[in-house]
Amino acid sequence: MWTFVFVCLAISVTGLHAEFTVTVSPSVKVKENEGVDLKCSYTADFGSAPRVEWKFRDLRGSQTLVYFDNKPTGQYAGRITVYDGGLRFSKVTRADTGDYDCEVSGNAGYDEKTIKLRVLVPPSKPVSRIPSSVRTGSNVRLTCFDVDGSPPSTYKWYKDNTPLPEDPTMFPNFKNLTYKMNIFSGNLEFPSISKLDTGSYFCEAFNGEGAPQRGDAVHMEVHDEDNSQAPAVSSSLSTETQNVPSKITMNHMLEKQYGVFMLQESIITSAIFTDGSQDSHQPSLQASKAFPRVKSLEEEKSLTLSVYCW
């Protein structure tokens, strides 16, 4: 009688299905000048001493090495520490906003993951462009921009210290106003401005990371088209002051009413004020015409101011 004995052998094979996986927190927010940890963990299959590198890509797409060959690169020395499981900033600045790639390699395996870091910055005082004098019926755009806020600010406009609604047609007190407001770009546009739009305007920037910041208020006067006392003014001109060449006489009354005037590259391109007396009333306004290039301001004693004004 034959007896058969079956022997089963269990063979354990390791390494055939190794998992090389990197895990991160995909998005991190931190206030400016505070510290932060960017967590990056990886599986044991990379081995006991894997190679870990960190790279940074800013908002413009430029890439920089942060941690390479087991040490921080120049601009990060003294600011970061790399440890088992992450990268630590002692203090961040707004320039640190961007994408951080954690790359791990070892035992012939490789994986990488990206962490988005956003450094939160309160808004700064916004820069606004508001003309002081415009013509009835013209298209006028007021602009407002906060250069520092992160995340980007949204904007609100005020007229005579009263907040303007984003959509004036939704409110009875504003239904006769025809402006268009973009709270994301900061633009306040009047497709066909009217005298109802005369007033003092300023904008406000807000991003939730600090107190709202207000720009300077500027009074915008809307004149009728046939108003001979008001020179035409481009709605795109800035409210910033420009210097007037010392050899050009500025009428005091005109300066008081309309602000500072500018002669652009010694070229008179439009109407010229010809009354140069210092104590006179409102100066006269010639018909609009082009003048040739002025060789010397001293030769043109009659030229007082160009029409470029705000």
CATH of the domain at 142: 2.60.40.10
Q: Is the pLDDT of residue 107 over 70?
A: yes
Q: Tell whether 101 and 177 lie within a shared domain.
A: no
In a domain, residue 185? The reply is: yes
> What confidence tier does 225 reach under pLDDT thresholds 50, 70, 90?
confident
What is the CA 114 to chain-centroid distance, rounded? 26
Give me the pLDDT at residue 175, please: 84
Q: Is the pLDDT of residue 52 over 70?
A: yes
Give me the pLDDT at residue 85, please: 86
Answer whether 72's CB lies under 8 Å from 80's CB.
yes
Q: Tell whether 166 and 206 lie within a shared domain.
A: yes
How many domains in the chain? 3
Query: What is the C-alpha to C-alpha distance for residues 96 and 294, in angstroms, rounded to an integer?
Result: 51
9-20, pLDDT tens digit by residue? 444 444 456 788
Answer whether 22's CB lies under 8 Å from 41's CB.
yes
Q: How far separated are the first and last CA of the chain, in Å rounded?
A: 119
In a domain, residue 5? The reply is: no
In a domain, residue 94? The reply is: yes
Q: Is the pLDDT of residue 249 over 50?
A: no
Closest CA to 52 of 44, 62, 37, 42: 42
Helix, strand, or coil here: 173? helix
In a domain, residue 262? The reply is: yes
Give me the pLDDT at residue 116, please: 97
In a domain, residue 16? The reply is: no
Q: Residue 14, exposed/middle/buried by CB under 10 A (0-12, 13-18, 19+)?
A: exposed
Give me the pLDDT at residue 253, please: 30
Closest CA to 307 of 281, 278, 283, 280: 283
Q: Tell whether 266 and 176 lie within a shared domain.
A: no
Query: What is the C-alpha to C-alpha distance for residues 17 and 45, in angstroms, rounded to an integer?
Result: 10
Give me the pLDDT at residue 290, please: 33
Alpha carbon dihedral 191, 194, 196, 200, in 10-degree steps, equals 70
Helix, strand, or coil here: 129? strand
User: Percentage of the chain with pLDDT > 70?
Assistant: 67
Q: Tell whether 109 and 167 lie within a shared domain.
A: no
Q: Tell whether 37 and 76 lie within a shared domain.
A: yes
Comparison of pLDDT for 11 and 93, the residue scoring more: 93
Mean pLDDT, residues 253-262 taken together = 33
Paired strand residues for 81: 88
Q: Tell whether 45 and 85 lie within a shared domain.
A: yes
Q: Is the pLDDT of residue 90 over 90?
A: yes
Q: Tell whether 92 and 133 lie within a shared domain.
A: no
Chosen domain end from 120, 138, 166: 120
Q: Tell whether 217 and 255 lie within a shared domain.
A: no
Give me the pLDDT at residue 17, please: 62
Give me the pLDDT at residue 16, please: 52
Closest CA to 136 of 217, 258, 233: 233
Cα diameter, the chain: 139
Comparison of pLDDT for 192 and 289, the residue scoring more: 192
Comparison of pLDDT for 53 and 246, the residue scoring more: 53
Q: Tell whether 44 and 96 lie within a shared domain.
A: yes
Query: What is the C-alpha to C-alpha distance for residues 211 and 217, in angstroms, rounded to an integer?
Result: 18
Indicate the average pLDDT of the chain.
76
Q: Tell whether 109 and 33 lie within a shared domain.
A: yes
12-44, pLDDT tens digit by residue? 444 456 788 999 989 999 999 999 999 999 999
Whole-model pTM: value is 0.62
In a domain, residue 6? The reply is: no
In a domain, residue 90? The reply is: yes
Comparison of pLDDT for 126 and 17, the residue scoring more: 126
Q: Tell whether 219 and 294 lie within a shared domain.
A: no
H helix or E strand, kind and range, residue 120: strand 109-120
Paired strand residues for 180: 189
Amino acid at position 277, single letter: S
> What confidence tier does 273 reach under pLDDT thresholds 50, 70, 90?
very low
Query: What is the C-alpha to C-alpha distance for residues 232 and 138, in angstroms, rounded to an integer?
Result: 10
Chosen domain end from 99, 120, 141: 120
Range of the domain at 299: 241-310
Q: Tell whether 90 and 153 lie within a shared domain.
A: no
The 10 Å CB-count burial string (b at 16+, else e) for 172-209 is eebeebbbebeeeebbbbbeebeeebbbebbbbbbbeb
Query: What is the C-alpha to C-alpha distance for residues 245 and 253, in angstroms, rounded to an integer?
Result: 18
Give me the pLDDT at residue 18, please: 74
Chosen domain end from 68, 97, 120: 120
The 10 Å CB-count burial string (b at 16+, else e) for 289-308 is eeeeebeeeeebeebbbbbb
In a domain, residue 84? The reply is: yes
Query: What contacts 298, CB < 8 A, 6 or more positions away?
Result: 247
